[in-house]
């Protein structure tokens, strides 16, 4: 009962063992690990937001579209309007947060399930991204030039590229990590999204377990009626969670847009789904009130590892989806069995 993430950790170990046995050895070199951790981290940032919202008893299906929409907004800020990052990034986050708040307010006011409200926003935001992109570019569905626009901005290294490049270069030159023939390290540094992922997972865990707000989130998701009767400001908590989730999506948008240098209308497609999967693998209950950020952290890693890892194996890639589904099933079954074992019967 007490440790939702236990199963996810066990699942991660299981998946690792599976790939150690079946995948090409390059998967677990430093470069290989960075390679599958990058998409896992991008998904994970979304998944932690989604997990907190799920613990609070709600869903947000619009986060995938939000990635596209916030990406567009950020792209317009920096390319079209030429704003520096110190303005563009907060503006994007505030803007995304506002959309999240609208989601939240509609859910709370109407009493409708968040599933259906945010589903409407899934379509609306996706559609607006397309319209906005065409307006911004004069007809194309891709907005380019972000990399040039943010070049040299002092904030850029925090949101794109690789961190600790100096360290890695010196490690490579001293032969501690692999390097290319020309002497540059195979892994130039740690992609910033991985660092963000770690920081956000730690923060979310702290908030959930060590602050009054965390208690309110669990309470609001466990039984919003009982929570409100006990004095928890349920509406405020839930709206804040919607804002937080939207901001997570916006952060992912900023990072990926700066990394790719461009954004298009299909960014973040179905990420809402993957984020929920990762959260559920991580032990969150769909009914709310139970789960953990650490669980979502490992859930995202499992998902990322399976998606990318299968490419390292010799399986016919036509079977990709079959394996993905099968491994998901095995991971959650295993995860569930372990949790029941460790924490006693429910």
Partner 1 sequence: TDIIVVAHGQANDPFWSVVKNGVEKAAEHTGANVDYRSPETFDMVAMSQLIDAAVNQEPDGLVVSIPDADALGPSIERAVAAGIPVISINSGSDVSKQLGALLHVGQDEFDAGKAAGEKLASMGGTKGICVNQEVGNVSLDLRCEGFAEGFGGSSSVLPTSNDPAEVESKVRAALDADEEIDTVMALGASTAGEPSVAAVKAIGRDIHVGTFDMSAGFLQSIVDGDAAFALDQQQFLQGYLAVNFLALHAEYGLMPGGNVASGPNLITAEKAAQVVELSAQGIR
Partner 2 sequence: MSNDSTFHHGDAPKTAPIIQMNGIEKHFGNIIALAGVSFDVRPGECHCLLGDNGAGKSTFIKTMSGVHKPTKGTITFEGKPLSFDSPRDAMEAGIATVFQDLAMIPLMSVTRNFFMGREPTRGRGLLKRFDTQRANEITIEEMRKMGINLRGPDQAVGTLSGGERQTVAIARAVFFGAKVLILDEPTSALGVRQTSNVLATIDRVRKQGIGVVFISHNVRHALAVGDRFTVLNRGKTLGTAKRGEITPSELQDLMAGGQELAQLGGSLGGTV
Residues that bind partner 1 (CB under 8 A): 23-24, 26-27, 29, 31-32, 35-36, 38-39, 42, 126, 129-130, 134, 137-142, 144-147, 180-182, 184, 186, 256, 259-262, 264-271, 307-309, 311-314, 316-318, 320-321
109 touches partner 2 by CB under 8 A: no
Nearer to partner 1, 139 or 212 (CB): 139
The option from partner 2, a second copy, partner 1, none interacting with 215 (CB < 5 to 8 A, set by class) reads: partner 2
The option from partner 2, a second copy, partner 1, none interacting with 32 (CB < 5 to 8 A, set by class) reads: partner 1
> How many Cβ atoms are within 10 Å of 164's Cβ, its own excluded?
13
The per-residue DSSP string of 111-180 comes to ---HHHHHHHHHHHHHHHHHHHHHHHHTS-SEE--HHHHHTT-TTHHHHSSEE-HHHHHHHHHTTSS-B-
214 touches partner 2 by CB under 8 A: yes
The contact set with a second copy (CB under 8 A) reads 106, 110-113, 115-117, 119-128, 130-131, 134, 273, 276-277, 280-281, 285-287, 318-326, 328-329, 332-333, 336, 346
CB of 231 to partner 2, least distance (A): 3
The option from partner 1, partner 2, a second copy, none interacting with 214 (CB < 5 to 8 A, set by class) reads: partner 2
Nearer to partner 2, 291 or 309 (CB): 291
105 touches partner 2 by CB under 8 A: no
* Integer Cα distance of 326 and 127 in angstroms: 33
What residues does 190 pair with on adjacent strands?
A: 163
217 touches partner 2 by CB under 8 A: no
* Integer Cα distance of 263 and 266 in angstroms: 8
The per-residue DSSP string of 269-299 comes to TTHHHHHHHHHHHTT--TTSS---HHHHHHH
Q: Is the separation of the CB atoms in 277 and 328 below 8 Å?
A: yes
Q: Residues binding partner 2: what is the number (CB under 8 A)? A: 28
282 touches partner 2 by CB under 8 A: no
Nearer to partner 1, 216 or 312 (CB): 312
Coil vs helix vs strand at 86:
helix
Coil vs helix vs strand at 163:
strand
87 vs 43, 143, 159, 206, CA distance in Å?
A: 25, 19, 14, 28
The residue to which tokens 């319209």 are assigned: 131
CB of 168 to partner 1, least distance (A): 14
Which residues lie below 8 Å from residue 88, measured CB to CB, with a gap of 6+?
A: 74, 77, 78
Give the footprint of partner 2 on residues 126-185 (CB under 8 A). none
Which positions touch partner 2 (CB under 8 A)? Answer: 1-2, 206, 210-212, 214-216, 218-219, 222-223, 225-233, 285, 289-290, 343-345
């Amino acid at each position: 009962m007490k440790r939702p993430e236990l199963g996810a950790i066990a699942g991660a170990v299981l998946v690792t063992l599976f790939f150690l046995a079946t995948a090409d050895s390059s998967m677990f070199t430093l470069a290989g690990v960075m390679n599958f951790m990058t998409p896992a981290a991008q998904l994970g940032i979304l998944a932690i937001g989604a997990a907190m919202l799920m613990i609070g008893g709600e869903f947000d299906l619009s986060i995938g579209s939000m990635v596209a929409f916030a990406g567009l907004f950020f792209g317009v800020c920096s390319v079209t309007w030429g704003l520096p990052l110190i303005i563009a990034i907060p503006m994007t986050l505030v803007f995304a947060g506002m959309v999240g708040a609208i989601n939240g307010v509609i859910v709370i006011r109407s009493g409708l399930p968040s599933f259906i409200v945010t589903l409407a926003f899934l379509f609306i935001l996706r559609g607006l991204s397309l319209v906005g992109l065409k307006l911004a570019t004069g007809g194309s569905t891709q907005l380019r030039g972000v990399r040039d626009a943010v070049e040299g901005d002092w904030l850029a290294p925090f949101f794109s590229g690789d961190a600790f490049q100096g360290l890695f270069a010196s490690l490579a030159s001293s032969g501690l990590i692999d390097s290319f023939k020309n002497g540059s390290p195979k892994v130039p540094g740690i992609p910033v999204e991985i660092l963000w992922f770690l920081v956000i997972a730690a923060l979310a865990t702290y908030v959930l377990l060590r602050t009054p707000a965390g208690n309110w989130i669990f309470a609001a998701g466990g039984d919003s009626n009982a929570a409100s009767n006990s004095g928890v400001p349920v509406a405020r908590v839930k709206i804040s969670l919607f804002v937080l989730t939207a901001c997570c999506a916006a952060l992912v948008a900023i990072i990926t847009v700066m990394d790719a240098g461009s954004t298009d209308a299909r960014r973040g497609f179905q990420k809402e789904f993957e984020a929920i999967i990762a959260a559920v693998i991580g032990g969150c209950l769909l009914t709310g009130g139970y789960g953990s950020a650490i669980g979502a952290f490992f859930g995202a890693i499992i998902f990322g590892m399976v998606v990318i890892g299968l490419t390292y194996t010799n399986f016919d890639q036509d079977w990709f989806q079959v394996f993905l589904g099968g491994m998901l099933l095995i991971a959650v079954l295993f995860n569930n069995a372990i949790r029941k074992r460790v924490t006693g019967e429910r």
